[in-house]
Amino acid sequence: MPDTSFNYLTADKTDLYRILMQAFSEAKEHFQVHLRPEDVQERAARNGQHIELDAIQTALGQLVEWGNLQAEPDTSRVTTVEDFYRARYLYQITREGEAAQAALATYRRMLEHQGALQSVALADIASQLRALRTLLDASDTAIAQDSAKSHLLLRDITRVFTDLADNARDFMAGLGRGLDLRRAERAAFIDYKDRLLDYLRQFIGDLVTRSAEISQLILDIQQHAGFRPLLEQIAERDAADLAPAPDLEHADPAALDPALARATRLDEWQARWSGLEAWFIGSIDKPSQAELLRSRARRAISDLVDAVVQLNERRLGRSDRSADYRTLAAWFMHCESDTEAHRLWRAAFGLTPARHLGIDNDSLQARNEQPVPPSRP
């Protein structure tokens, strides 16, 4: 059976359906499970949307058909026989409807997320890696005793690193959109440029400093003899918390294989560690993600400077020299005589007579008798 819980996002009356679904989501946040059509109308009116009750009831029925809402008979207000035979329902959001709303909220949040370059996250990762190396340098007995602490450290490293990588990706992706100059005010953009340049330079400096330390810590931990046993202990802790999966279609469901669960969790932790290593440690033919991010941040500084130059040129209304030469060439083509062309040449390139040089009457008379031709074959 096809899933229809997202149909309200593309239907003809999508605005109405979204208003109603938002009302149910807000009601659930306030621990109000059931809503009557009048309650939905009141919630919509609070947000400035005034909708007829008949339209709300029709839309609620459609949402029930799509599986976003569940309808139950409302018998609490039945006082007469006519009320009993009149269809009255209480509505509540279903798991499918709640999942659709959560997906829509995540979509909006991801679009609005600007990202950031988190220098503090670099310091946190370095600090947690140092603590993990300290645990590995302890005795084998201490490692067994501190497996829970090591588990917590690795989870924190993974969480902080994932947040760092995602935020850096979103920030650099949105940086190009921030340099759109079509509607930029010069004063506002100059202020934004100054603050952004300081921000980028500070992060680049922190990234260069911290990356070297983090890379060395990763290598030290990875080469430590106790690192592999530690990952195995952590994988075993994760596997111990796995709940049995429901398998109601078979009379004798297969039991959970502890060895397979441990191997799966171990592969997951090794993949996370490999991702951390690839982000900070590169090779000649494959630079690390930290190096690529540093290169992109430096290029962003150059793009900012170019954007300021473009903004100043747009403000001054300047044209480039090639356009000036093309315009001058068109003027030469419209000259009707060589005399006009020479006059234009002298005006364009400043070839005015040298007024400090003198000439006598004999020279002037000789020039009049034998004039110099404007051009020679």
Mean pLDDT confidence for 258-276:
90
Q: Which of 150-164, 167-181, 310-324, 339-353 has the highest mean pLDDT?
A: 150-164
Phi first, then psi, for residue 93 (nearest 5°) are -75, 140
Mean pLDDT confidence for 318-326:
72
Confidence of residue 353 (pLDDT cuts 50, 70, 90): low
pLDDT given at position 248: 46
User: Between vectors from CA 194 to CA 188 and to CA 196, what angle results, nearest 5°?
Assistant: 95
Does the pLDDT at position 53 exceed 50? Answer: yes
Does the pLDDT at position 59 exceed 90? Answer: yes
pLDDT given at position 247: 53
Mean pLDDT confidence for 96-104:
91
Share of the chain above pLDDT 90, in %: 27
What mean pLDDT is reported for the chain? 82
Mean pLDDT confidence for 292-307:
84
**Which residue matches tokens 């690192």?**
227
Distances in Å between the alpha carbon of 363 and those of 246, 357, 359, 370? Answer: 115, 13, 7, 10
CA distance 24 to 36: 10
Write out the H or E segment, with its range, that includes residue 230.
helix 227-240
pTM to 2 decimals? Answer: 0.58
Other CB atoms within 10 A of residue 216 CB: 15
pLDDT given at position 96: 92
Does the pLDDT at position 362 exceed 50? Answer: yes
Residue 115 gets the label, from left (phi > 0), alpha (psi -120 to 50) or beta, of left
